[in-house]
Amino acid sequence: MAYDPAPLTLAFRRGQLDALVRTHLDPAGLFTPEMQQTLALRQLSQAWAAYREDRGITLGARLVGAECAAERDAFLALLTATLPSPASPLAEAVRTVRRIAVAPLAAEARQAATIAAQSMVQLEAVIATLAGERLPTDPLERLLALIDQHRYSLGPAGDDALGATALSPCWAINLLALARPQAFALTAPPLPLPGLARRRLFRADLSPAKRRDAAREGLLRAMLEAACDLDRIWRATRRFAAEFPQQRSHSRLGSAWLLLVGLEDLTPAQLGRALGVTKAGAGKLLRQLESGGLARSNGMFEPYSCTPIAAAPFAADLY
């Protein structure tokens, strides 16, 4: 019998992530509450990218940008409705994004409410399946069973495989992997994993073997990204401390840096709304970060970008 290393690879990645979560996010761990908020903002941005891909939204790559205000507000409303606690870091991240982003127009707000109301049917169906006792406890088998129960396209004969896949509730599964990670039984201290499922897993013309391989790769990729984000945020704080070692207790520069790490790019006006300072004051903070090599200006009317932060490799070649 041929040796299959795949189950051990998945178990190794789960154990690795468990250890990182306990080290960084436990009450006595390395992360401060502000660093946990940075992680939540990164997770929210990644979840928005997955949501746009799942629902075929081509614009609005920036979570706090002016494009796709209706779709973004519907996404935030759906996420808020599924979060178990309004005091969680993700709930605070949603409030931060609402504070930073330009408020939607009245017509966009109505459109967002319509999108959210129409989407709740699919979302509640996935919630009901996750709450049941029929799903396997193994994470990979659990994800595959969840997909099978919510796959509209059942076979190539007489079915529009691609059309049915486009209408799949993949977005709902990914939203719940963010809001209720404990339901997916991946890590002992539950950690949100944005983009856990891919829409191609719902295709009827994908063989069971290829579906299983693709689902496993998706799990490994999501866990690897989560591990890298934990490491990036820790490295970002050390990098800031090295560049700006003598900060006063009331300085907003560290908060500005962590917001930039969480959202990856910000305009002075957006940073000002986030910190409750003037646009001029926020611009000064961003220029200070740029002088230390932590931020990059992209032009007069463009947002400042966070310079790349390397993460430990975490055996990325495992999948």
Show the 3-state SS of 196-241.
CCCHHHHCCCCCHHHHHHHHHHHHHHHHHHHHHHHHHHHHHHHHHH
Share above pLDDT 90 across residues of the chain, in percent, rounded to a whole number: 70
Q: Is the pLDDT of residue 127 over 70?
A: yes
Whether pLDDT at 67 is above 80: yes
pLDDT number for residue 158 = 47
* pLDDT for position 315: 60
At residue 221 the predicted structure's pLDDT band, cuts being 50, 70 and 90, is: very high
Residue 266: per-residue pLDDT: 96
Per-residue pLDDT tens digits for 140-186: 999 999 999 988 765 444 455 555 566 789 999 999 999 999 999 88
pLDDT band at 1 (very low <50, low <70, confident <90, very high): very low
Model pLDDT, residue 6: 67
Mean pLDDT of 47-61: 93
What confidence score (pLDDT) does residue 319 get? 42
Look up residue 98 and give its two tokens. 């609402």
The residue among 312 and 266 whose pLDDT is bigger is 266
Distance CA 150, CA 289 (A): 47
186 or 128, greater pLDDT: 128
The pLDDT score that the predictor gives to residue 225 is 93
Q: Are 57 and 68 in contact (CB under 8 A)?
A: yes
Say what the pLDDT of residue 210 is: 92
Identify the bridge partners of residue 67 per DSSP, sorted by sequence position: none
Averaged pLDDT, 5-14: 78
HEC sequence for the chain: CCCCCHHHHHHHHHHHHHHHHHHHHCCCCCCCHHHHHHHHHHHHHHHHHHHHHHCCCCCCCCCCCCCCHHHHHHHHHHHHHHCCCCCCHHHHHHHHHHHHCCCCCHHHHHHHHHHHHHHHHHHHHHHHHHHCCCCCCCHHHHHHHHHHHCCCCCCCCCCCHHHHHHCCCHHHHHHHHHHCHHHHCCCCCCCCCCCCCCHHHHCCCCCHHHHHHHHHHHHHHHHHHHHHHHHHHHHHHHHHHHHCCCCCCCCCHHHHHHHHHHHCEECHHHHHHHHCCCHHHHHHHHHHHHHCCCEECCCCCCCEEECCCCCCCCCHHHC
Taking 60 as the threshold, does the pLDDT of residue 116 lie above it? yes
**Predicted confidence band at 227 (pLDDT cuts at 50, 70, 90)?**
very high
Q: Which of the pair, 133 or 238, is modelled with greater confidence?
A: 238
